[in-house]
Amino acid sequence: MIYKPDYKGGSIVNLMSSISKAFNTTHPYPTLKTLSPSEIKKAKNVVLLVIDGLGFEYLKTKKDSFLYKNMKSTMTSIFPPTTGAAIPTFLTGVPPQQHASTGWYVYLKELGVVSAILPFNPRVGGVPFTHLGISVESIISQKPLSEKLKTKVFHVTRKEIHDSDFTVAMAKKAKILPYSSLNGFFRQIKKAVSWNKKKKYVFGYWDSLDSLNHKQGEGSAKANKHFSEIDKKLKKFSESLKETNTLLVITSDHGFINIPKEKRLWLEDHPKLKETLSMPLSGEPRAAYCYVKPGKEKDFERYVKKHLSKYCYLVKSKIAIKQNYFGLFTPDPKLFERAGDYILIMKENYILRDRIVKKKKKEFVAHHGGVSKNEMIVPLIIVKA
């Protein structure tokens, strides 16, 4: 079954609309049905915590947890439900329809290269594009929320990326507070909350659960142990905020799905398909954007329908945009360039990957970016202090 984003009132985009309007900032999307701007507006400190990789289907296996007990509702992520598309959504307030960051790997026509969008360098690595005089703003033209909100804004982010080109560009007027541990993460959020007695917005991002899920698998011993650590410390942290009039809004960018080895497909095992493509795959292993050579469209479609229909849905990218996979309203013109000619949206728990340099295949146990319930549905957790 395909789970599409609910941009009309039930997605992380609508959450960002509710937050924006609580700070008297206009937003094109409807507000979240389960969290109104008026409810948010009551708080002096609004803290949005994004725990990367915390899907609802996983959380509901932890019904004794502090996080589950404080869950208000569920939401959908965006399409594709992945960090490269969802984090720009949290930071700009709008989905890929407007910000045009379509996954971890994004083809940038203006540079003639497939990029790793958040590290802001070529897919194969190398110097960041800013070293060549190319700004993040020229690639993602949407203004960050930190520049739009009519209040003091803080970004709490990992020390290793706090001064990266993407982080700095998306922070703009926000005060960046770096951390290097889970204790440090909560310490910096507390610092932001206590900065002054005025109204403020704090965005905090924690990525270690995502990393463990990728490497060990969702539900693995190490991932479960880390979730318990987050849960325990978050409960203690929320108690430390009592009488500060703080609203903690906790959610995620996506969930996960575990991928057994026999369901990991490689493009190199399908040379006739590869021959129809004009460039490497971009997007995600669970939602691959395909750029097809002129005149090879029929060959591409025939091959996919004959050999891969068991593993994936074949969707024309223009139709996906028209059917509001990426968002509502007028799309950024760059979206058409960055979503390929076709999208191979993987079924069940299959993935499709390619290699563009001859090196050892990097195998993740769990992935995201597809249209399963596990990947698409995220929790909305509310804690009032």
pLDDT at 126: 86
- Name the strand (E) or helix (H) holding 46: strand 45-51
In the chain, where does the domain assigned CATH 3.40.720.10 lie?
Answer: 12-257+371-384
pLDDT at 125: 85
**Residue 356 binned pLDDT confidence (cut-offs 50, 70, 90):** confident
pLDDT at 359: 65
Angle at 317 between CA 311 and CA 338, to 5 degrees: 110
Average pLDDT of the chain, as a whole number: 97
Burial track 282-315 (b if 16+ CB lie within 10 A, e otherwise): bbbbbbbbbbbeeeeeeebeebbeeebeebbbeb
Rounded CA separation 85/79 (Å): 8
Per-residue pLDDT at 209 exceeds 70: yes
- Domain 261-367 annotated CATH 3.30.1360.180: yes
Q: Which of 383, 6, 354 is nearest to 231 (CA)?
A: 383
pLDDT digit string, tens, across residues 123-146? 998 899 999 999 999 999 999 999
Rounded CA separation 191/112 (Å): 43
Q: Which of 54, 2, 98, 18 is nearest to 256 (CA)?
A: 54
pLDDT digit string, tens, across residues 235-277? 999 999 999 999 999 999 999 999 999 999 999 999 999 999 9
In the chain, where does the domain assigned CATH 3.30.1360.180 lie?
Answer: 261-367
φ, ψ dihedrals at 229, nearest 5°: -65, -45
Per-residue pLDDT at 357 exceeds 80: no
pLDDT digit string, tens, across residues 43-67? 999 999 999 999 999 999 999 999 9
Residues 281 and 289: beta-carbon distance below 8 Å: yes
pLDDT at 255: 98
User: For the chain, what percent of residues have pLDDT higher than 90?
Assistant: 96
Burial track 237-268 (b if 16+ CB lie within 10 A, e otherwise): bbeebeeeebbbbbbbbbbbbbbeeeebbebe
Per-residue pLDDT at 13 exceeds 70: yes
Residue identified by tokens 């190398």 is 126
Which superfamily, per CATH, for 12-257+371-384?
Answer: Alkaline Phosphatase, subunit A (3.40.720.10)
How buried is 161 (Cβ within 10 angstroms: 0-12 exposed, 13-18 middle, 19+ buried)? middle
> How much is the average pLDDT of 185-193?
98
pLDDT at 361: 63
Q: Which pair of structure tokens corresponds to residue 280?
A: 């490497």
Per-residue pLDDT at 358 exceeds 80: no
> How much is the average pLDDT of 184-194?
98
Per-residue pLDDT at 313 exceeds 90: yes
> How much is the average pLDDT of 363-384?
98
pLDDT at 317: 98
